Structure formats: structure tokens, C-alpha cells
Amino acid sequence: MVTQIKIFFKKNIYLGIIFINLLLVLNSFNFFYIDLLLYTALHILFVFYCFYDDFKINYLSIFIIGFTLDIFLVNEFGPHLITFMFFYLFINKIKYIFINKGFLFLIPLNILLVLIILVFEKLFLWIVYNYKFNAFILFESIIISIILSYPIYFFLNMIKNKL
């Protein structure tokens, strides 16, 4: 029984991390920078988990994440869900190219993908829903994602190596 719980925990700790972060994003702390930090960290986790096969993220998990973000943050259906689903499909199609690349190559690639996702979400909101977004907030989220990327990747790789 204990062994089965341990195996279940090893397989699903990554989904637990992303869903805990999702819950923290949805519960506003009324501090703009904490909310922005958690929102950006969710995108970094999304790209990290999509890029590596051993994390077992799938379309259902991405659908739940995107749908939840759309309903609670934007109150419209589509920007996060469509962007996340499209980028998951895109990442699955191109990740075989980067199999034997080094860690120092993969981190900037993942940062670039996070930045593209953030920009596409804002553009989708602007084009489809005429939702005005602040370019300064987008710039801040890009800076935060650049700063947070390496510590998050380091922490997640540490967890991966320990399990």
C-alpha cells in the first residue's frame, strides 16, 4: 500500500504543483506583483511540463488549466484555452528536434516559448474580445518570466532528480 502511494505521488507531483499554482493564481492576494509572479510562474511551469515527456501532462490537464484561467481571470472563453492547446500541440511537434541539446540551450528556448505564449494571449484578447491590455504589464510579466525561469527550472530539476 505504501509503495503504491509513493508511486502515485512520484507520477503526479508535477500535476499537483501546476494545479496548486493554478489555485494560487485564481485566489487574488490583492498585491499586483504577487499575482503577476504566480501567473507568470504558471506559464513557465506549463512550458516546462509540456517540453519534457516524463511529466505526463496531457490535453485534459491543459484543457482544465486553460478553461479555468479563462473563466476566472478573463470571464470570456478562449484566450488561455486556445493558446495553451495550440502551444501544447506545437511543442509536441517540435520537441524531438531538441532531444540532445544542453541545459543552457533549453532554458532560453523555454523562456522564448513562455514569452510567445504571453504575447499571443494578449493579442488574442485584443483581437477577438477588444480587451485592452497594458503593454507595461506585459513587459513586467516578460521581465518576471526571464528572472524566474532559471530558479524554477533548477527547482523542478532538483525535484525530478530526487524522485
Could you say which residues of the chain have pLDDT below 50?
A: none
At residue 38, the pLDDT reads 92
At residue 53, the pLDDT reads 61
At residue 54, the pLDDT reads 60
At residue 77, the pLDDT reads 80
Instruction: Give CA separation, 59 vs 35, 51, 56, 62, 124, in Å.
Output: 25, 13, 10, 5, 20
Model confidence pTM above 0.85: yes
CA 32 – CA 75 distance, rounded (Å): 19
At residue 37, the pLDDT reads 92
